[in-house]
Structure 1
């Protein structure tokens, strides 16, 4: 698995490293529910990015849409943590900025893929992942 060149993986990974200490500061009574959901969502997004990178068919688009849905859920839970005062406004601002950055990268990644059925004068062609005609 080569994730070194996958920018979205690194951004999600860095966000997860930032999020863990924050989750540990949530009061224990809320950490078991809110903290666990935050952790599971962030890890799920990270693992789905690896899975999407490995697939090359229509499944990739489905996985990317799932990542997008999970990012929306993460935004909501981060906002809830801020409103419950488990994080400062500055921390919330940082989290929102990082999640938006990941969302923009995901949007670009989702929309830069070649169409499924390309043809020139009725003859099907294959397009590599680098957009070169073969």
Structure 2
């Protein structure tokens, strides 16, 4: 089965990001790191479920908020000096790509649901 590009990009983000988050110092790993990892897995699961849902729009709009939370958490990592600027720029691009795809999917669903 062909994956939707947004699902594949989220999967790739998890493969790249989780090992980095698992290497955070103890003071951040069990708070921010674990929350971020849980959030990443939630985003992937919800994207997969939305793919098969009859009513996609509500699920997709909820995901928009989760992606924004991930952006802010990533920014905190950078501001706590727990991530290099290069890694930060890379992950921000990945997250923004996922956000753009999600925005397109939401737009498509709004067109379908309007009379």
Equivalences, count: 114
Report the CA distance between 1:110 and its aligned residue.
1.1
Q: Flag the structure with higher helix content.
A: 2
* Structure 1 ranges of 4+ moved more than 4 A: none
TM-score, with structure 1 as normaliser = 0.80
1:66 to 2:62 alignment: yes
Partner of 1:9: 7
Which consecutive residues of structure 2, in runs of 5 or more, have no partner in the other structure?
none
Structure 1 unaligned residues grouped into runs of 5+: 119-134
Q: Which has the higher contact order (CA 8 A, sep 6+)?
A: 2
3-state DSSP class of the match of 1:87? coil
Cα offset, 1:85, TM superposition: 1.2
Q: TM-score, structure 2 length as denominator?
A: 0.92
Q: Secondary structure in 2 aligned to 1:115?
A: helix
Query: Which is richer in strand?
Result: 1
